[in-house]
């Protein structure tokens, strides 16, 4: 009788162990994807890893393109005389006043290459504050006395046309000094020759997810006009087809000279600065880009207030909304418009 009870107990224990074993196998299988449920990769098709540019948020297949040192190039911008070329390939573009009430542009290139960039103009010292924060190399054709001094003192990587005839060329059919051109290929090759090509940007913007339905909070805005001077105004008008703000100068569409296409900004950031003053008899200016101030964002048909701060000439500019939260950009090219605080800006 006792032996029968023992066998009965052993049998029950064996059944229990087998049940737990089966149960464990079932639970493990339920947390893993069945290989038969996976979508097969078509034969001969490779799965490419995607990378994203830290400056414009655009997907890039070749990671080495975004590991390059950013390129900043000083570009002339005189309607009808010095139309920008290659600017549409830049990740972002800075615009600031120069002497005479006109502006100069400084596109920042990283993952896209432009075969014709120009016309290349002389350096101005306050643009260096933006060159330094991106740890960029600076393409230019000569310099103002202040820029020459600062380039040496601050150890800016200068790609000066004066000393690099193999990197730049002149178009003889164009009027001097608006006839100097280069390409990103030539500029990046010069950096590689010096052993300075690899230096990722310290600036890393945040971007909206392409699949996100989230939009910034602000007032509606389909058009903004920036009154740089009595003779020079910039307009941005929302374009549904381009899904961005089409750029106008003095009321006319501004097109990239190389591509023939109208320039379009996904984001327009306005930065108001103090300290704009004339330095010399040539009308050269000074601007205070270190410190803090206000600004305004235009993106996705919305506008809202911004604050900016910059601790030193080499420190990246920090952008926040009026609540103190960091901003996000729409993926694509951004234009950063740096204006004296008293400049008239109208949006509707």
pLDDT < 70 regions, the chain: 1-47, 212-215
Assigned domain for 206 exists: no
Residues 272 and 309 in one domain: yes
Assigned domain for 14 exists: no
Adjacency order of strands within the sheet including 117-118? 117-118, 180-182, 169-170
DSSP string computed for 177-216: TTTEEE-HHHHHHHHHHHT--B---S----B--TT-----
Helix (H, G, I), strand (E, B) or coil at 283: coil
Which residue range forms the structural domain that includes residue 149? 51-194
86: alpha, beta or left? (left if phi > 0; alpha if psi -120 to 50): left
CA distance 337 to 269: 6
CA distances for 278 relative to 99, 131, 159, 233, 284, angstroms: 8, 22, 27, 20, 6
| Chain-centre distance for alpha carbon 311 | 20
CA distance 254 to 314: 31
Assigned domain for 101 exists: yes
Listed residues 144, 179, 194: the one ending a domain: 194
Residues 190 and 237 in one domain: no
243: alpha, beta or left? (left if phi > 0; alpha if psi -120 to 50): left
Residues 146 and 94 in one domain: yes
> What is the number of domains present in the chain?
2
Helix (H, G, I), strand (E, B) or coil at 112: coil
Is residue 123 within 8 A of residue 142, CB to CB? The reply is: yes
In 3D space, the residue among 347, 259, 317 whose CA is nearest the CA of residue 94 turns out to be 317
Instruction: Write out pLDDT tens, residues 8-24.
Output: 444 444 434 334 343 43
DSSP string computed for 318-333: EEEETTSPBP-B-SS-
Assigned domain for 253 exists: yes
Assigned domain for 230 exists: yes
Residues 185 and 256 in one domain: no
Residues 185 and 266 in one domain: no
Residue 42 has what pLDDT? 60
Q: Which residues contact 128 (CB under 8 A, 6 or more apart)?
A: 138, 147, 150, 151, 154, 156, 313
Q: Which two tokens stand for residue 347?
A: 């949006």
CA distance 41 to 211: 23
Residues 227 and 189 in one domain: no
Listed residues 179, 194, 209: the one ending a domain: 194
Q: Residue 292 sits in a domain of what CATH number?
A: 3.50.90.10
CA distance 341 to 345: 10
Assigned domain for 243 exists: yes
Is residue 201 within 8 A of residue 135, CB to CB? The reply is: yes
In 3D space, the residue among 171, 151, 150, 170 whose CA is nearest the CA of residue 161 turns out to be 170
Residue 27 has what pLDDT? 30
Residues 127 and 189 in one domain: yes
């Amino acid at each position: 009788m006792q032996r029968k009870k023992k066998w009965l107990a052993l049998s029950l224990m064996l059944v229990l162990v087998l049940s737990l074993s089966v149960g464990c196998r079932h639970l493990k299988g339920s947390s893993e994807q069945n290989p038969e449920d996976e979508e097969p990769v078509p034969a001969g098709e490779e799965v490419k890893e995607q990378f994203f540019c830290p400056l414009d948020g655009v997907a890039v297949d070749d990671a080495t393109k975004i590991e390059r040192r950013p390129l900043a190039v000083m570009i002339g911008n005189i309607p009808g005389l010095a139309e920008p070329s290659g600017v549409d390939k830049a990740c972002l573009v800075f615009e600031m006043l120069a002497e005479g009430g006109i502006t100069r542009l400084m596109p920042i290139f990283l993952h896209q290459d432009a075969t014709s960039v120009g016309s290349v103009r002389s350096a101005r010292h306050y643009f260096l504050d933006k060159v330094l924060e991106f740890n960029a190399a600076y393409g230019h054709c000569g310099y103002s006395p202040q820029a020459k001094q600062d380039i040496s003192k601050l150890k800016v990587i200068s790609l000066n046309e004066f000393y690099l005839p193999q990197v730049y060329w002149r178009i003889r059919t164009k009027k001097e000094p608006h006839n100097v051109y280069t390409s990103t290929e030539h500029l990046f090759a010069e950096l590689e020759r010096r052993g300075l090509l690899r230096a990722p940007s310290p600036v890393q913007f945040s971007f909206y997810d392409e699949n996100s339905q989230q939009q910034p909070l602000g007032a509606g805005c389909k058009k903004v006009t920036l009154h740089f001077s009595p003779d020079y105004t910039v307009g941005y008008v929302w374009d549904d087809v381009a899904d961005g703000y089409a750029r106008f100068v003095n009321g006319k569409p501004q097109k990239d000279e190389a591509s023939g296409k109208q320039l379009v900004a996904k984001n327009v950031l306005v930065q108001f600065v103090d300290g704009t003053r004339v330095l010399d008899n040539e009308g050269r200016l000074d601007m205070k880009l270190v410190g803090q101030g206000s600004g305004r964002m235009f993106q996705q048909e919305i506008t809202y207030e911004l604050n900016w701060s910059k601790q030193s000439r080499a420190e990246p500019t920090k952008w926040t909304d009026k609540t103190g939260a960091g901003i996000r950009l729409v993926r694509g090219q951004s234009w950063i418009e740096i204006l004296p605080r008293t400049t008239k800006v109208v949006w509707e």
